[in-house]
Amino acid sequence: MSTENYIPKTRLEAFSDGVIAIIITIMVLELKVPHGTDFASLRPILPSFLSYILSFIVLGIYWNNHHHLLHAAKHINGKIMWANLHLLFWLSLVPFVTNWLGENHNESWPTFLYGIVFLMAAVAYVILQTLIVEKHGKDSLLAQALGSDWKGKLSLMSYVSALGLAFINHWFSVALYILVAILWLIPDQRIEKVIEKER
Amino acid sequence: MSTENYIPKTRLEAFSDGVIAIIITIMVLELKVPHGTDFASLRPILPSFLSYILSFIVLGIYWNNHHHLLHAAKHINGKIMWANLHLLFWLSLVPFVTNWLGENHNESWPTFLYGIVFLMAAVAYVILQTLIVEKHGKDSLLAQALGSDWKGKLSLMSYVSALGLAFINHWFSVALYILVAILWLIPDQRIEKVIEKER
Amino acid sequence: MSTENYIPKTRLEAFSDGVIAIIITIMVLELKVPHGTDFASLRPILPSFLSYILSFIVLGIYWNNHHHLLHAAKHINGKIMWANLHLLFWLSLVPFVTNWLGENHNESWPTFLYGIVFLMAAVAYVILQTLIVEKHGKDSLLAQALGSDWKGKLSLMSYVSALGLAFINHWFSVALYILVAILWLIPDQRIEKVIEKER
Amino acid sequence: MSTENYIPKTRLEAFSDGVIAIIITIMVLELKVPHGTDFASLRPILPSFLSYILSFIVLGIYWNNHHHLLHAAKHINGKIMWANLHLLFWLSLVPFVTNWLGENHNESWPTFLYGIVFLMAAVAYVILQTLIVEKHGKDSLLAQALGSDWKGKLSLMSYVSALGLAFINHWFSVALYILVAILWLIPDQRIEKVIEKER
């Protein structure tokens, strides 16, 4: 048994919870209070609000899945800690791209950059997941439960497609971002089943 | 026993604590430091300060009740996690509407939107509570303890009334927001009693 | 044994930690990056930086003492939770008054308001401490340990004096704020001794 | 056994996690959304983004090492708590200097100040580590594991050199900051080995 097994996962979970909680909350600071006082004055911030909702949901999905993945994990090592920080890095850029997209919702580049950050976050999640599975063995219940990970693969493919589509019609990209969110809103029962089996 | 029972509630509590702690604290960033240096220069930010106090108290109430509700809960599932994120979403908008109301305290629309966010948060809380009760069974001590939930129903009715009143005289709405806060400042002894019974 | 005893103190501690951590950190957002790029361009933000240091230390003291007080506490009830939120409310205003003082360090009113917030936080701490002692009984080791609480009383008196002095020479007030901080930098060994005795 | 041993380290860890999580996340608020909507409009914020990445990694290293150090620690006292707050103070200034460096990446003084904050954080870490080792005894496994602490000493020397080099060619300083980060990216196996031995 290597020394690496001895890092407790509680502080990793607590730190990740803290960072995701802050990211999900500071986004609201970018919703600029309208100067007017009537209903019409809210209309200009509607795109910002809609991109806020989308980012809030995607961050909620990451927190949810991260929660499940770490719960299923038994062993943590230095590599996993850095893979986790790498994921948090890309998530930390979500407020920035959400803001740029919200203020320029009809433009290709903001739509593209939004997709880049989400693609990189998805890649970072796959790396984290792979390292955790590797640590637990190819035959572990966790590895079996994830199976082909079609959701993860489909998400990556959708984000890559969205990047190209952003320059044809950026609404296609936005539609794909929403579809990926819907895909993940269904909780990841694969890991829940593993937890059940182990009891 | 379904797989859904196995999600531990500690991270849900920790994440909610984090989000509510951040929301309650970043509101103060919207209190703009006055340009002048005398007492009179504080007067323009008085409405912002008063709406800050009201929002702080309401968020404190939510944290308090959330604390009690989750403490009484034994089982968590994916639906409950999303219902909780839904509640946090509406609470995350509190700094935005507090700011708009603070800067335009004599206007109907900011008062209306403030009420909308509080109404939706109250609805989200009822959904969360209903899902938790459902999970524990209609005959559970938790379900019995909540009883008719007259406080929840009265709050919803007050917020709905406040929305209409905002266009007649917005001070009526503000008065209702304050009354609902006072109503909840009394801690929810129903759940505390259940916890006692179970011991 | 009343129902009130059953609220666990862990979430109260976690929430307070979160709020104080956020308050102590967001203050740095108010340190405006200088427009120039030489050493002289840092001089205008020196007063802001010094008031940041003072507020950081005072918040550190509150966290430290709060940590000790809650650690010694065995029982929590609804009243204590609200007394704690009341304390957090006044602490949440520290970034605002720090900022106003930092930008107007030669003025009476910002110095006065800084003192008001610190006086109210001190009062809130005394209320919290009194409620916790009350809950544990006048003869409890906690009550004995706090004893005459001369530090708390001296702090309150100093802050009250500082309020008046702000209009004579505000440097007297600032000196008193610093003296109170130094007074508390020595850790509160009274409660540590109680914890020892109980073992 | 002195009274000082009785402070549990969990709240110290939780508070530090909270503060570092907030520092690492609020830095992104300083990445100003570009006014343009094309790829070229991102170019002006590239230096800010690169300094954000560097600061994110250094803060990640501090969190990682802090995590290991506290995990190895058994005893906490008042001095250690203040040494920890002292470390958090310098880390809290990272967003400020990152921002100044990002906006003026070709200038000596911002590069110098960035180095000052990192040097002081490194000094604060050494103080914290020394106090923890002192508390555990010169012959403790923790003390043995840290050994000569060549990494810590090399970092301090590099930062001091970087301060002087900032006025000759600031790119030398930046190169040193990056080299120190790479040096620490390798997880601190000394403490992990101690944890193993103690089992």
The amino acid sitting at D45 is: I
* Residue A167, min C-alpha distance to chain B (Å): 31
Side-chain half-sphere exposure of A43, counting CA atoms within 13 A: 4
Q: Which two tokens stand for residue A15?
A: 């730190």
- Which residues in chain D are contacts of A113 at CB distance < 8 A? 42
Contact between D195 and A3 using a beta-carbon 8 Å cutoff: yes
What is the least distance, in Å, from the CA of A14 to any CA of chain B? 8
> Which ipTM did the prediction report?
0.86
d(CA C140, CA C127): 17
Judged by CB atoms closer than 8 Å, whether chains meet at C6 and B193 is answered as no
Q: Which amino acid is at A6?
A: Y
Alpha carbon of B76: minimum distance to chain A alpha carbons (Å) = 12
Which pLDDT score, from 0 to 100, does residue B152 have? 85
Of D17, D67, D196, the CB nearest to A18: D17
Among B13, B16, B19, B33, most C C-beta atoms within 10 A, so best to mutate, is B33
pLDDT reading at B181 higher than 50: yes
What is the radius of gyration, based on Cα positions, of chain D? 18
Query: What residues of chain B lie within 8 A of the CB of C81, using their CB?
Result: 64, 67, 187
Gap from A168 CA to chain B (nearest CA, Å)? 33
Mean per-residue pLDDT, C9-31:
89
What pLDDT sits at residue D126? 93
Residue B48 has pLDDT above 50, yes or no: yes
Cβ of D26 under 8 Å from any chain C Cβ?
yes
CB B136 within 8 A of CB A66: no
Q: Do D95 and C29 touch (CB under 8 A)?
A: yes
Give the per-residue pLDDT at C4. Answer: 41
User: Concatenated DSSP letters for A31-45?
Assistant: SPPPSS-SGGGGGGG
| pLDDT at C195 exceeding the cut of 60 | no
Q: What is the DSSP-derived secondary structure letter of residue A156?
A: H
Q: Confidence band (pLDDT; 50, 70, 90) for C197?
A: low
How far is it, in rounded angstroms, from Cα C29 to Cα B47? Answer: 24
**Report field, pTM of the whole predicted structure over 0.90:** no
Q: What is the mean pLDDT of residues D90-119?
A: 92
Q: What is the pLDDT of residues C161-174, one digit of tens each?
A: 999 898 988 899 99
In chain D, the N- to C-terminal Cα span, in Å, equals 23
Residue B4 has pLDDT above 50, yes or no: no
Q: Among B164-173, C75-84, D41-50, D70-79, which is the least confidently predicted range?
A: D70-79
pLDDT of residue A2: 36
Above 80 in pLDDT, residue C60?
A: yes
Residue C30 contacts D, CB cutoff 8 Å: no
Parent domain of D85: 3-198
The Cβ of residue A29 has, within 10 Å, a number of other Cβ atoms equal to 18
Check CB contact under 8 Å for D22 and A18.
Answer: yes
- Are D109 and C38 contacting, i.e. CB atoms less than 8 angstroms apart? yes
What percent of chain D is predicted at pLDDT more than 90? 42
Neighbours of chain A (3+ CB pairs under 8 A): B, D
Chain C contacts of D96, Cβ < 8 Å?
28, 31, 33
- Residue A171, token pair as written in the block: 């609404």
- Pick from D16, B65, D71, D62: nearest CA to C17: D16
Q: Is A60 on the interface with B (CB under 8 A)?
A: yes
**CB distance C95–B29 less than 8 Å?**
yes
pLDDT at D194 over 60: no
Taking residue B1's Cβ as centre, other Cβ atoms within 10 Å add up to: 8
**B85 — contact with chain A (CB < 8 Å)?**
yes
Whether pLDDT at B28 is above 60: yes
Whether B170 shows a pLDDT value over 90: the answer reads no
CA B29 vs. chain centroid, Å, equals 20
Interchain CB contact of B31 with A (< 8 Å) = no
Transcribe chain B into DSSP letters.
--GGGGS-SHHHHHHHHHHHHHHHHHGGGGSPPPSS-SGGGGGGGHHHHHHHHHHHHHHHHHHHHHHHHHHH-----HHHHHHHHHHHHHHHTHHHHHHHHHH-TT-HHHHHHHHHHHHHHHHHHHHHHHHHHHHH-TTSHHHHHHTT-HHHHHHHHHHHHHHHHTTT-HHHHHHHHHHHHHHHHS--HHHHHHHHHH-
Query: At residue D115, does pLDDT exceed 90?
Result: yes
Q: How far is C177 from chain B (nearest CA, A)?
A: 20
Longest Cα–Cα distance in chain B: 66
**D touches which chains (3+ CB pairs under 8 A)?**
A, C
Q: Write the residue in D8, D11, D92 that is nearest to C25 by C-beta.
A: D92
User: Scanning the structure block, which residue is given the tokens 């590239």?
Assistant: D46
Q: How far apart are CA A138 and CA A94, in angstroms?
A: 33
Cα dihedral value C49, C50, C53, C58, nearest 10: -130
Tens-binned pLDDT, residue by residue, of chain A (199 aa): 333 445 678 888 889 989 999 999 989 888 888 888 888 888 888 999 999 999 999 999 999 889 888 887 877 888 898 999 999 999 999 999 999 999 887 888 999 999 999 999 999 999 999 998 888 877 777 777 777 788 888 899 999 999 989 898 889 999 999 999 988 886 555 555 655 555 4
Cα angle B132, B136, B142 (rounded to 5 degrees) comes to 80
Nearest to A13 among B3, B11, B19 (CB): B11
Cβ of D40 under 8 Å from any chain A Cβ?
A: no
Contact A26 D31 (CB under 8 A): no
Q: Does residue B3 have a pLDDT over 70? A: no
Please give, rounded to a whole number of angstroms, the shortest distance from the CA of C34 to a CA of chain D.
7
Q: Look at residue D3 in the predicted model and tell me its pLDDT.
A: 39
C-alpha D58/C-alpha D166 separation (Å) is 19
What is the C-alpha separation between D107 and C38, in angstroms, rounded? 8
pLDDT score, position B187: 57
Nearest to A88 by CA among A143, A154, A22, A166: A22
Mean pLDDT computed over B130-151: 79
Q: Which amino acid is at B82?
A: W
Contacts of C23 in chain B (CB under 8 A): 25, 28
Cβ contact, residue pair B110, A37, below 8 Å: yes
DSSP per-residue letters across C101-158: HHHTTT-HHHHHHHHHHHHHHHHHHHHHHHHHHHHH-TTSHHHHHHTT-HHHHHHHHH
Whether B199 has its CB under 8 Å from any CB of chain C: the answer is yes
pLDDT of residue C193: 59
* Residue B14 at interface with chain C, using a CB cutoff of 8 Å: yes
Degrees to nearest 5, angle at CA D11 with D6 and D16: 125
pLDDT at D93 over 80: yes
Q: Is-contact A98 A51, C-beta < 8 A?
A: yes
| Distance (Å, whole) CA B132 – CA B124 | 12
Q: Indicate the Cα dihedral angle C31, C32, C33, C35, nearest 10°.
A: -150
Look at residue C189 and tell me whether its pLDDT is greater than 90: no
Quote the CA–CA distance of D150 and A90 in Å, as a whole number: 32
pLDDT, tens digit, 9 for 90 and up, residues B102-128: 988 788 899 999 999 999 999 999 999
Cβ of A182 under 8 Å from any chain B Cβ? no
Chain C residues within 8 A of B62 when measuring between CB atoms: none
CA distance B123 to B149: 13
Q: What is the mean pLDDT of residues C127-147?
A: 81
Check residue A127 and give its pLDDT: 94
8 Å CB contact of A11 and D64: no
Answer whether C168 touches D (CB < 8 Å): no
CB of C185 within 8 Å of a chain D CB? The answer is yes
Coil/strand/helix, residue A193:
helix
pLDDT at D64: 87
Label residue A137 exposed, middle or buried (CB < 10 Å: 0-12, 13-18, 19+): exposed
**Alpha carbons D182 and A10: distance in angstroms, whole number:** 26
Compute the mean pLDDT over every residue in chain C, rounded to the nearest whole number: 85
Contact B37 C110 (CB under 8 A): yes
Mean pLDDT of C16-20: 92
How close D4 gets to chain A, by Cα (Å)? 24
Which residues of chain A are within 8 Å of residue B14 when distances are taken between CB atoms?
A: 13-14, 17
- Kindly list the distances between the CA atom of residue C149 and the CA atoms of C79, C124, D125, in Å, as whole numbers in the listed order: 21, 15, 34
C-beta atoms of A100 and D25 within 8 A: no
Total tally of structural domains belonging to chain C: 1
Chain A residues near residue D185 by CB distance under 8 angstroms: 82
- Digit-coded pLDDT (tens) for D149-161: 888 888 999 999 9
Confidence band of C199 (pLDDT split at 50, 70, 90): very low
